[in-house]
Amino acid sequence: MGTRVNAYERKKSQSSTDRTASPKKARTMATLTRKSDKKKKRKRKEKERKKKKDHKSKKKKKRKRHDGDDSFDGKKRKRKESNAASTPRPQLVPMTREAWEKKQSVVRRVLDKETGRVRLVKGDGEIIEEIVSRSRHRGINRTSTLGDGESYMTGLLAAMRRKQRVTGE
């Protein structure tokens, strides 16, 4: 009976006898190239970080130069100073539930100038229906239909005028 050799011993004997002929050599070369690629990538990223840092530090230096220099006469800076002196900016804070409910409880009538319709608008812009009698509903529909027709005709006439300008007649 022959002796059995386990995989570990086989690899050990193979690596000790001839490294150049083994496929392991090819694998190690591939890992070396991957490692060198990783090193290159790492170096590239470091350079990019350094450039960003340098760019930021240059910006800070410019800001410091302008802050300390009274002769700097930039328009943006003048605007900022004048706005800051006249009105302080309110802090942006989330709306409380009570404030939101108070805002939503306001219902107002809004006239649509284009169509002539009067709508009920609640709070921020939610449009709600108004319950009216049958005769009032017919009157609303009549005026709304007239308004819709007028707005359609004005849009149609405007389109025709544009077309005439383009063609030159």
The verdict on residue 116 lying in a domain is yes
CA angle 162, 147, 131 (to 5 degrees): 145
* pLDDT for the residue 80: 56
Q: Is residue 30 part of a domain?
A: yes
- For residue 1, being part of any structural domain is answered with no
Instruction: Output the tens digit of pLDDT for each of the chain's 169 residues.
Output: 556 666 666 666 655 554 455 666 656 656 666 777 888 888 888 888 888 888 777 777 766 665 554 555 555 555 555 555 567 777 888 989 999 999 999 999 998 887 677 889 998 889 898 888 999 989 988 888 888 888 899 999 999 999 888 887 6
Residue 6 lies in a domain: no
- The answer to whether 110 touches 123, Cβ cutoff 8 Å, is no
163 and 108 in a common domain? yes
Residue at a domain's end among 31, 48, 63:
63
Within a domain: 48: yes
* Three-state secondary structure of 29-91: HHHHHHHHHHHHHHHHHHHHHHHHHHHHHHHHHHHHHHHHCCCCCCHHHHHHHHHHHHCCCCC
Cα-to-chain-centroid distance, residue 103 = 28
- Residues 107 and 122 sit within 8 Å (Cβ to Cβ): yes
Total domains, the chain: 2
Q: Is 88 a domain residue?
A: no
CA 168 from centre of chain: 43
Flag whether 31 is in a domain: yes
Residue with tokens 């943006």: 76
In a domain, 112, yes or no: yes
Assessment of whether the complete model's pTM goes beyond 0.75: no
Domain range for 140: 104-167
**What would the two tokens of residue 30 be?**
């591939």
